Amino acid sequence: MIPIWFFVAYVPGVYVSYRLLRTFFAFVWAVALYKIIPQFYGPALQRYKSRWTVVSGGTDGIGKAYMFELARNGVKKFIIIGRNPQKLESVKEELEAKDCQVLTFVFDFFDGDFKALRDYLSDKNIGFVVNSVGVGRQYLERYGDRPEADYQMLKVNGMGSAEFMSCVLPPMERNGGGQMVVLSSTQGIRPIPLLAAYSATKSLIAFLCECIDREYQTVNVQCLMPALVATNMTYYNKGSLFVVTPEQFAKEAVRTLGLSKCTSGCFNHELQCLIRHLFPWTILKHLMMPIYWRQQNRMLKLHGEEGAVKAYLDPATDLNADSDVKKVKNSPNSCIPRKISRVVALEENRSRA
């Protein structure tokens, strides 16, 4: 019989050693993938030069930056899909200035006619696809506090993105296959409170990527799972240690084509992901929550905390969807209840004046 002291002394040590080794090897792979291998290897993009590259969400952020990085590497034919005609035309002119051939298709992934999109793409010789369509939200909220925002997130980031992939796969396969790059998120690796709908859709997309890659022999699928990128969706306007610019992200992500099926996309984000190798999820989920509470506070300050608190106090408040201040109702741990007394006092002082 194994003595109890063996389990007390050795088993925890073995487990900690296992976690440290996982983290170490993940770090070695990150250095190799982003710093060493690119010095000797470049993605074979010339094969897609004469075929169409279809980009969803290509008028802003990561999608646009990735498309321009492809153009810098010799890809010259693009079909850009987006809902804003003015932005589509602007990006088209920028690419045409780089000697690219560009087609645009105005389409809303929330309520668009996917049959029309499918018919439009059916006869195109598609060799490369960048699926970066997605919407964000102004506040971090509990699931169900604003059902309309949850529904939009699930419809666009989930079903819209998934159906777009089903539109491009048949013409890709008919023309000999190709490369598909799909934008997911690190927030799709594990369930993230206050971002429930977003986290769920990114997990859905990551699962679909692996399934499609195994189902289609001629189509290579890469799933990018970045952390924070300085885009309109995250409300960061510049890069930092933990927040990369779209251009930096795209430059590093393109160089991982053919090397990794699923990656964070850039070295900075890969380092951030090391923490999930170091700690088990049962511990990590508690360590991460203060980060999301702080992010919630940041978003409230950014968009107008006073109006958000008023909406919290009056659930019947009907705020315009495009307003800087939207209806926010969060759990007692959020920053809203802590601000109620201050805002009420502010209103009382104004009434006395």
Active site residues: 198
> CA-CA distance, 58 to 80, in Å (whole number)?
6
DSSP bridge pairs for 147: none
CA dihedral 275→226→235→332, nearest 10 degrees, is: -40
The residue to which tokens 């300050």 are assigned: 301
Q: Which is nearest to 132 in space by CA: 91, 73, 175?
A: 91
CA distances from 306 to 7, 138, 302, 351, 352 (A): 55, 15, 11, 16, 19
Strands 52-56 and 77-82: parallel
Residue 186 CB neighbours (<10 A): 21
Strands 52-56 and 262-263: unpaired
Give buried/exposed letters for 307-327 (b at 16+ CB in 10 A, else e).
Answer: bbbbbbeeeeeebeeeeebbb
> CA-CA distance, 211 to 205, in Å (whole number)?
10
One-letter amino acid at 162 equals A
* Residues near 42 by beta carbon (within 8 Å), at least 6 away in sequence: 73, 255
Q: Which is nearest to 77 in space by CA: 96, 56, 58?
A: 96
Residues 267 and 256: beta-carbon distance below 8 Å:
no
